Amino acid sequence: MTLPRSGRHDGEPPARPRRLPPARPARARLTPVDAALFGLVALALAYAAYRVDDVLAYRWNWGQAFNFVIRYDAATGSWVPNLLLQGAAMTLRLALWGTVLATLIGVVMGLARTSTNLTLQLLSRAYVELIRNIPPVVFIFIFYFFISSQLFPAIGVDRLRPDSPILANPVALVLFGPPNLFANFLSGVVCLAIFEAAYVTEIVRSGIQSVEKGQWEAARAIGLSHTRVIADVVLPQALRRILPPLGGQFISLVKDSAMVSLISVQELTFLSNEVASTTRRTFETWIIAATFYFAMCLVFSLLFDHLERRARLVPR
């Protein structure tokens, strides 16, 4: 019997010298082509600025426009939000409630669309096709009439007074905005949600249908009820897969909220329009409005990036 040469454990083969694999060759990240492209973009921007400033001969007055974001109230001696900021707050409320409602309706309708019940399938299909095939603006005009003349009397919204304790409290003020604008706000939310939910329905449907047949079968085979199959196995997988298109849809929702300005919901676009036409500070006002929209959409976008990354932590 021979002793192993390495004095560690019996039976372990002696260590062999290993050749290290070569390092990955370095690659330049910024090439001359990139630099040239940057230069071109910078030139184009400079030219545009020159045109606006010189040829257009527009007299900028940012102070007046900013005054409509926040203004100094001499009576109380404090800064108070003015029309544009109020509008931005209203748009934010529209976006948040719209997202919540559109998600709820979209998931329910998406489930209906993929159910085995023919009536539910047809209802969901009809809903999606009706909304997808009418211009949103036209839909909102028709639907607004229905909401304000039928839905609100039916659920008693038109009997709610601005001083009712349901609306006139700090929480409701944050969630729903000023009490005197509640009906106005609600019609905006309902229109927006029903419109966007049609697209969410389609996204949810595609997500549910992307879950393999084997998953349904395995869930059924362990004796789960239909509801549990959906809730525990199908929806969790479907929702992970549809996060990217859903994120895109919610960004669209923020931008589409501008449409409800047409039914006089006092959100950012509606109030910007008022401010721009009364002050004639067109560019300043709309640039401020655009900045608000951009910030809100960017936050949504980053939020969904984050959610996507978290969903990916669960390996598939």
Binding site for other proteins (CB under 8 A): 212, 214-215, 217-226, 228, 232-233, 236-237, 240, 314-316
Hey, is 78 helix, strand or coil?
Answer: strand
Please report how close the Cβ of residue 139 comes to other proteins at its closest, in angstroms: 36
Q: Which is nearer to other proteins, 183 or 239 (CB)?
A: 239
> ∠ at Cα 189 (129, 310), nearest 5°?
80
Please report how close the Cβ of residue 226 comes to other proteins at its closest, in angstroms: 7
Residue 11 phi, psi (nearest 5): 85, -10
Task: Give the total residue count for the chain.
Answer: 316
Q: Which is nearer to other proteins, 219 or 253 (CB)?
A: 219
Q: 203 and 160 in contact (C-beta within 8 Å)?
A: no
Please report how close the Cβ of residue 302 comes to other proteins at its closest, in angstroms: 24
Q: 271 and 257 in contact (C-beta within 8 Å)?
A: no
Q: Which is nearer to other proteins, 161 or 312 (CB)?
A: 312
Q: Which is nearer to other proteins, 69 or 219 (CB)?
A: 219
Q: Which is nearer to other proteins, 125 or 220 (CB)?
A: 220
Please report how close the Cβ of residue 77 comes to other proteins at its closest, in angstroms: 57
Paired sense of beta strands 70-73 and 78-81, if any: antiparallel
Please report how close the Cβ of residue 201 comes to other proteins at its closest, in angstroms: 22
The angle, 0 to 180 degrees and rounded to 10, between the axes of the packed helices 182-210 and 118-132 is 120
Please report how close the Cβ of residue 108 comes to other proteins at its closest, in angstroms: 21
The residue among 237, 245, 246, 239 whose CA lies nearest residue 315 is 237
Q: In angstroms, how far is the first alpha carbon of the chain from the final one?
A: 51
Distance between CA 41 and CA 63 in Å, rounded? 30
Distance between CA 194 and CA 192 in Å, rounded? 6
Distance between CA 239 and CA 120 in Å, rounded? 21
Please report how close the Cβ of residue 34 comes to other proteins at its closest, in angstroms: 37
DSSP H/E element including 244: helix 235-256
Burial status of residue 258 (CB atoms within 10 A of its CB: 0-12, 13-18, 19 or more): buried
Q: Which is nearer to other proteins, 1 or 314 (CB)?
A: 314
Please report how close the Cβ of residue 1 comes to other proteins at its closest, in angstroms: 33
Q: Which is nearer to other proteins, 51 or 226 (CB)?
A: 226
DSSP H/E element including 72: strand 70-73
Q: Which is nearer to other proteins, 226 or 280 (CB)?
A: 226
